[in-house]
Amino acid sequence: MALRFYNTLTQRLEEFRPLDGHTVRMYTCGPTVYHYVHIGNFRTFSFQDVLRRVLRMRGWKLFHVMNITDVDDKIIRNAVAEGKSLREYTAPYTEAFLEDAAKLRLERPEKLVFATDHIPDMVEAIRRLAERQHTYESEGSVYFRISSFPEYGKLSHTNFSGNLAGARVDVDEYEKADARDFVLWKARKPGEPYWDTPLGPGRPGWHIECSVMAMKYLGETIDIHTGGVDLIFPHHENEIAQSECITGKPFARFWLHAEHLMVEGQKMSKSLGNFYTLRDILARGWAPEAIRYLLISAPYRKQLNFTFDGLKAAASAIERLRNFQTRLETERFDPGIDEDQEQRAAKALADYHEGLDDDLNTADALGAVFEFIRETNIAMDQGRFRAGNVASAKKLLGDFDLVFDVLRPTLAEGALSDEEVEALLKERTEAKKARDFARADQIRAMLLEKGIVVEDTRDGVRWKRR
């Protein structure tokens, strides 16, 4: 079956293909850089990475834009408190975000954009909204009048009728899910950074950022818009209102939202203080790929509870996968091909891809891979697995890693590369041949010290990282 996604807008599973038939134009609400991003945020960004990889595997090209929110209430508060400009304050957190994302092997979106680089575009968008009577002004701030957009509520599936003459709200975060006219442009406050614009001195609201940057780079109707479920209301609802009131066209065709990473029944969040950054976890000695695996192994629309036991299970799942890969690559199998094994591989491959096609059901996809590994290990032990079966097993593992990307170990600083290990092992083999056992043992000990375990088997030398 074809690739299909659950669309928050229609509340249905829908078959996906890009509007123009080749390039997926996709927008992601990026981080607000007032602190280190936590692994809850990274659950959403990791889901987006899986989404990217699956879309590409299905043959589509990608044009993915992610914004960096580098101006908002919290950023201003912290920057002012530290006596820094907005950029001085946010730049190290932006850097840290990109570094952490790279450690988690998240592909860079094709374009990263900063809110503060788009103030004139936002001012222009607000002007167009004003021209069409969607705004009003009060005390130097400009608000969006939600009663001017009858479809308000269509994304969060809330019926706000009779409730739209709401009060105004100035803050970037709503307390609860009630409809309020939201701020597009905030009047300058004493002591705060501001931009001098035709709208008067001030700064943009959070919602207008995303509408403007998404449409500037991706066009008036984009294929996919994503974020965490907490953004459905009001942020994405407001993005729709702004964009569709400007263009009169549907803003995004597919809305995909990731469920939360939880800690003991509550959303992992900065405000609750129940969060871990990637740095916290790496400092405890965990490999980044274990965190990546943990975050993506549960389907993105299910809540996921974060525990260190879960992380341990993720690490051992990776270990099993790598051991299987080592077996495939180093064991010597009898010649020939076993047809049952070929069928098993074909079924596993089909089930794996079908899992991904089914709204990125990573749990089902993984289930197919692990069942295959379990059965194949038995077939290998019983000698039923033949040399001719290696290729189909490698194909499955290869397709698995195109999305999951956990087979390659992250090298610690100062660690030996694969090539260096191979070179030392070659030297060791030669030393043994020359009956220089002292040198051979010395090399083995040196490798062990660097975390490389060497095993001499019937089929030759095998090694793995500890």
Structure tokens belonging to residue 448: 């062990």
- Give min distance, CB of 29 to Zn ion, in A: 3
Residue 71 as a binder of Zn ion (CB under 5 A): the answer is no
Under a CB-based contact definition with an 8 Å cutoff, are residues 163 and 178 in contact?
A: yes
Amino acid in position 367: G
Look up residue 232 and give its DSSP letter: I
Distance CA 152, CA 144 (A): 12
| DSSP-assigned states of every residue in 159-172 | --TT--S--EE-SS
Q: What is the CA radius of gyration of the chain?
A: 26
Judged by DSSP in three states, 455 sits in strand
Q: Give the nearer residue to ligand AMP in terms of CB position, either 268 or 424.
A: 268
From the list 13-21, 24-32, 162-170, 176-184, the region that binds ligand AMP by CB under 6 A is: 24-32
DSSP track, 364-384:
HHHHHHHHHHHHHHHHHHTT-
Candidate residues 26, 29, 263, 406; the one interacting with Zn ion per rule CB under 5 A: 29
| Chosen from Zn ion, ligand AMP, none, partner binding at 274 (C-beta under 5 to 8 Å by type) | none
CA distance 375 to 366: 14
Q: Give the residue ranges of DSSP H helices in 182-332.
A: 206-218, 237-247, 278-283, 288-297, 308-330
Number of other residues whose CB lies within 10 A of the CB of residue 202? 23
Answer yes or no whether residue 43 interacts with ligand AMP by CB under 6 A. yes
Given the rule CB under 6 A, which of 147-155, 226-234, 347-355, 418-426 is the region that contacts ligand AMP? 226-234
64: contact with ligand AMP by CB under 6 A: no
User: Shortest approach of ligand AMP to residue 215 CB, angstroms?
Assistant: 19
Q: Applying CB under 6 A, does 345 fall inside the site for ligand AMP?
A: no
Considering only the stretches 39-47, 313-321, 328-336, 445-453, report the one whose residues sit in contact with ligand AMP under the rule CB under 6 A. 39-47
**What does 355 interact with, of Zn ion, ligand AMP, none (CB < 5 to 8 A by kind)?**
none
Q: Are 224 and 14 in contact, with CB atoms under 8 Å apart? A: no
Which partner in Zn ion, ligand AMP, none is near 210 (CB below 5 to 8 A by kind)? Answer: Zn ion
Q: Is 3 in the site for Zn ion (CB under 5 A)?
A: no
Q: Which helix (H) or strand (E) holds 286?
A: none
- Is residue 230 within the footprint of ligand AMP (CB under 6 A)? yes
Residue 260 interacts with which of ligand AMP, Zn ion, none, CB < 5 to 8 Å by class: ligand AMP
Stretch that binds ligand AMP, among 12-20, 254-262, 283-291, 425-433 (CB under 6 A): 254-262
Answer for the pair 248, 213: CB distance below 8 angstroms, yes or no.
no
By CB under 5 A, residue 348 contacts Zn ion: no
Question: Which positions touch ligand AMP (CB under 6 A)?
Answer: 29, 31-32, 40-41, 43-44, 227-228, 230-231, 258, 260-261, 267-269
Question: Which positions touch Zn ion (CB under 5 A)?
Answer: 29, 210
